[in-house]
Amino acid sequence: MKLKIKKILGSISHTKLAFLILGIGSTLWFLIRVIPKPSRASYPCMKASAPFMSAFVLYLIGLASTIYLFKEKKGRLLLLKSVLGILFVVSLLISFRSSPTETQLSLVDASYFIPNTPIGIAKGTFPGRVVWVHNPDATNEFMTNKTDDFWFMDKNGNQNLVESMLMSGIERIGGKKNIVEAWDQIFKYYNMEHGKGNIGYTPGERFAIKINLTNSCCSSVGTAAMDASPQMVLAILKQLVKVVGVPQTDIWIGDNYRLFRDDYWNKCHTAFPYVHYVDGTGLNGREQTLPSTDQILKFSDGKETSSLPQHYLDAAYLINMPCLKTHNEGGITLAAKNHQGSVLKPGDAPQNQSAGYVHYSLPGDNVGTGQYRHLVDYMGHEQLGGKTLLYIVDGLWAGKNWNGVVEKWQMAPFNGDYPSSLFLSQDAVAIESVCFDFLLTEYANKPAAEKYPYLTGVDDYMKQAADPKEWPKGIIYDPEGDGTPIKSLGVYEHWNNATDMQYSRNLSTGNGIELVNYLAHGTDSYQGETPTAAFETNTSAYKLFPNPFTESIRIEAQNDQALNLDIYNLSGQLVFNHTLKNNYTWSGMTNQGSKISKGTYLVKLTEQNSGRIVISEKIIYQNQ
Q: Residue by residue, what is the 3-state secondary structure of 169-187?
A: HHHHHHCCCCHHHHHHHHH
* Rounded-to-integer distance, Cα 620 and Cα 597, Å: 11
Q: Where are the domains of the chain?
A: 2-99, 189-493, 535-621
Residue 34 confidence class, pLDDT cut points 50, 70, 90: low
Burial call 221-249: b when 16+ CB within 10 Å, e when fewer: ebbbbbbbbbbbbbbbbbbbbeebebeee
Q: Percentage of residues in the chain with pLDDT exceeding 70?
A: 82
Please identify, in words, the CATH class of the domain defined by 535-621: mainly beta
Q: Looking at residue 614, what is its pLDDT?
A: 75
Q: Is 558 exposed, middle or buried (0-12, 13-18, 19+ CB in 10 A)?
A: exposed
Q: Looking at residue 535, what is its pLDDT?
A: 52
Report the DSSP beta bridge partners of residue 567.
Answer: 576, 603
The widest CA-to-CA distance across the chain, in whole angstroms, is 105
Q: Percentage of residues in the chain with pLDDT exceeding 90?
A: 70
- What is the dihedral sign for C-alpha 94, 95, 101, 102? positive
* Rounded-to-integer distance, Cα 309 and Cα 256, Å: 7
More confidently predicted of 71 and 284: 284
Q: Looking at residue 99, what is its pLDDT?
A: 40
Residue type, 139: T
Nearest CA to 208 among 386, 430, 405, 470?
A: 386
More confidently predicted of 241 and 556: 241
Q: Looking at residue 572, what is its pLDDT?
A: 80
pLDDT tens figures, 529-551? 988 775 544 344 677 889 889 99
